A and B are shown apart, each in its own frame.
Chain A
Amino acid sequence: MSIHERSRGAWVIAISFIVAMLLSIVPLPPSLHAFMPEWLLLVTIYWSMALPHRIGIGIAWCLGLLLDVLRDTLLGQYALVMALVIFLTVHLHQRIRVASLWQQAATIFVLCLIYMLIVFWIKGIQGLAPDFWMALISPLVSTLIWPAVFLFMRNLRRYYQVN
């Protein structure tokens, strides 16, 4: 495999990450804040599942660090959870890939739940814990939106032949 082939479609991946980051800080009315899916997490899960040899824990950690600065949280909070969740995804990617769309969504729910629980825990240590049931909404929304994200990203990947 030549270097050129290896780096094919890197810009597609980069742009999808940038768009996901923009989506995760898009301004919304405060009442809708809790309903915001974790866009960056979903996109990163997709890429690490489809191309585990290219998108791994290191990239997830860097993305999480950027998300920390974007959201002005404790530096390393999202980096830690992103790295952890992506580790699990890379570990399980062969099982997730073959499952049907809604079975996949169930796995994503578990991953999002782990993500949310650790964020919740870190916030709790800082004394900023949000309402637990409100915090559960975001993983649910992320799960519901997963099939759409998955199909969109798969078409994107096939169209630009990223592999």
Chain B
Amino acid sequence: MTLDYRTDTVRSIRAGLSIIVYPAQYLLDLPGSFIDWTAETFVTRRTLQEENTSLRTQNQILKTQLQKFTFIEAENVHLRELLKSSKRVGERVLIAELLSVNLDPFRRQVVINKGSQNDDIYVSQPLLDANGVMGKIVHIYPLTSTAILITDPDHSLPVQVVRNGLRTIAVGTGSDNQLELLYLPNNADIQVGDELITSGLGCVFPAGYPVARVTVVNTNPSLPFAEVLAEPAAKLDRSREVLLVWPTHASLPEMQTPCTRNREAP
């Protein structure tokens, strides 16, 4: 146990055993996938048409927004060049699917169906869904990998308030749909409804992805810090498709970025 906690030596044992238990996970996932499959197969023409229309409309809207986005991105790159600042470029993503199994009852973790067999996944790789940050990879097995969710009590990530750039740390509480923001002084400029995005400071998550929205702000003058709670933007208990991201970290031209060093370390 100590070996597992402190070092990496038992990883191969873990990987071997994971192949033995993979059939169990696969078997448990079957009913869910089967229901999904039947729901997709036996739909009426009408539903399909309606879905098609709504998707088309959504696509149009997104495309229109994207036109503007391309322009803004170009402008942003240009401005950053003028400032001799770092460039931000697009990230590579991979779509993975969750296996519907339950892990340790007191933690918030998920299993995804991509492992070291198919892709160059690495430990602490960010995991997103369509709405925001979900978590990061903790263990990689040949066929599957496990990820820790942002609501896990052992997880924390550096975030930033969109409105004013206030930086803080969002820590999981272990209960669903709740994050706690630590070390915010009582007079910090934070309100209910503030959007939080990743700040990219920890070198794990790429900057700028939505994380949560502030739901509770309690300021008690007798306590050193304000009690601030937030609700994750990602649908942690509902998403089935997730995105694995290979972030490209900002690199300043004149100095070695701290993040690359961090990435190369095992």
Contact = CB atoms under 8 A, between A and B. Distances in A.
Nearest to A33: B105
Interface in B140-173: 146, 153-154
A36 B28 contact: no
Contacts of B146: 72
Contacts of A21: 21, 24
Contact of A128 (B4, B24, B28, B154): B154
Nearest to A79: B1
A153 to B, nearest CB: 20
Contacts, number: 86
Given A25-B24, A27-B32, A69-B21, A36 B1 contact: no
B114 interface: no
B103 interface: yes
Interface stretch (A85-93, A103-111, A119-127, A154-162): A119-127
Interface in A21-72: 21-22, 25-31, 33-34, 36, 65-66, 68-72
B241 interface: no
A30 B176 contact: yes
Q: Which of B4, B27, B109 has the most CB of A within 10 A?
A: B4
Given A26-B28, A27-B32, A70 B100 contact: no
B202 interface: no
Contact of B107 (A27, A70, A80, A128): A128
Contacts of B4: 74-76
A77 B105 contact: no
Interface residues of B, number: 36
A70 B25 contact: yes
Nearest to A21: B24
Given A21-B24, A29-B237, A66-B21, A75 B1 contact: yes
B17 A66 contact: yes
Contacts of B28: 22, 25-27
Contact of A30 (B17, B139, B153, B237): B237
B14 A70 contact: no
Contact of A25 (B3, B101, B106, B175): B101
Nearest to A135: B106
B102 A27 contact: yes
For the complex of A and B, the 4 pairs showing the least CB-CB separation, nearest first, are: A130-B106, A33-B105, A76-B1, A69-B17
Interface of A: 18, 21-22, 25-31, 33-34, 36, 65-66, 68-77, 80, 122-123, 126-128, 130, 134-135, 138
